[in-house]
Amino acid sequence: MRAYIYDNVPGDQRELHDSGEDVDKQTLERLGVFYQQIPIDQEGRWETSIDEFAKGRGYKNRDRITVTKAGLGDAYESKIKSFFDEHLHEDEEIRYILDGSGFFDVRGHGGPYDDKWIRIWLEKGDLIVLPAGIYHRFTVDTANAITAMRLFQDEPKWTPHSRSESDTDAREARATYLDGLR
């Protein structure tokens, strides 16, 4: 994992877009973003760790998602563009990277990072929890391949509420998120 300020230079979303300004784990924590590394080992201890993590946080369900050119065919480019549309969810977004790598961009709030994109580079063995109500987007990197486990509490509710297409600031999840920040 590495987190840094996105450079906002126009160009392919899959490039690094590295401004050179790193963001520390504490800043992510203040935004309600939880990160942990659970290395994927041959012995399968990672599965026990994920089971314990899921049990501890009450995540009862999980599935896997693979985003690759081979898997998505002609739909690939439009699919990765849709993941990159800024949005929020009414529930947490939990991802454990099983293979490949990609970027989750989250919006900073307050201080020097207010409404700036913070780019979080995740690879195999990285676990992230994005809180409900945080503005974010996802993209693969230039390797064009990621497989992730998606965990969720009960029914999967993946509905993305696009910031540009609706009044997402008026959503309860947004208000609750902002109330929880100090």
**Stretch 138-157 residues interacting with ligand KMT (CB under 6 A):** 138, 146, 148
> How far is residue 73 from each of residues 97, 142, 144, 150, measured CA to CA in Å?
22, 17, 12, 22
Query: With CB cut-offs between 5 and 8 Å by kind, which of ligand KMT, Ni ion, none does residue 95 bind?
Result: ligand KMT
Which residues ranging from 80 to 139 are in contact with Ni ion (CB under 5 A)? 93
* Residues shown for the chain: 182
Binding residues with ligand KMT: total (CB under 6 A): 9
Number of residues that bind Ni ion (CB under 5 A): 1
Whether residue 176 contacts residue 132, with contact meaning beta carbons closer than 8 Å, is answered with yes
Q: Which of 83, 101, 109, 123 binds ligand KMT (CB under 6 A)?
A: 83
Q: What is the C-alpha separation between 164 and 143, in angstroms, rounded?
A: 28
Token pair 């297409």 is found at 165
Integer CA distances (angstroms), 100 to 83, 97, 119, in order: 16, 7, 17
Q: How far apart are CA 95 and CA 139, in angstroms?
A: 13
Rank residues 21 and 77 by Cβ distance to ligand KMT and give the closer one: 77
103 binds, among ligand KMT, Ni ion, none (CB under 5 to 8 A by kind): none
Q: Is 17 annotated as a binding residue?
A: no
Q: Is 21 annotated as a binding residue?
A: no
119, β-bridge pairs: 4, 105
| Beta carbons within 10 angstroms of residue 174's beta carbon | 20
67 contributes a contact to ligand KMT by CB under 6 A? yes
Does 93 belong to an annotated binding site?
yes
In this structure, the number of other CB atoms found within 10 A of the CB of residue 67 comes to 20
84 binds ligand KMT (CB under 6 A): no
Q: Which of residues 3-42 bind ligand KMT (CB under 6 A)?
A: none
109 is in an annotated binding site: no
Amino acid symbol at 114: D
Contacts with ligand KMT, residue ranges (CB under 6 A): 65, 67, 83, 93, 95, 102, 138, 146, 148
Annotated binding site for Fe(2+): 87, 89, 93, 136
Bind-site residues: 87, 89, 93, 136
| Contact footprint for Ni ion (CB under 5 A) | 93
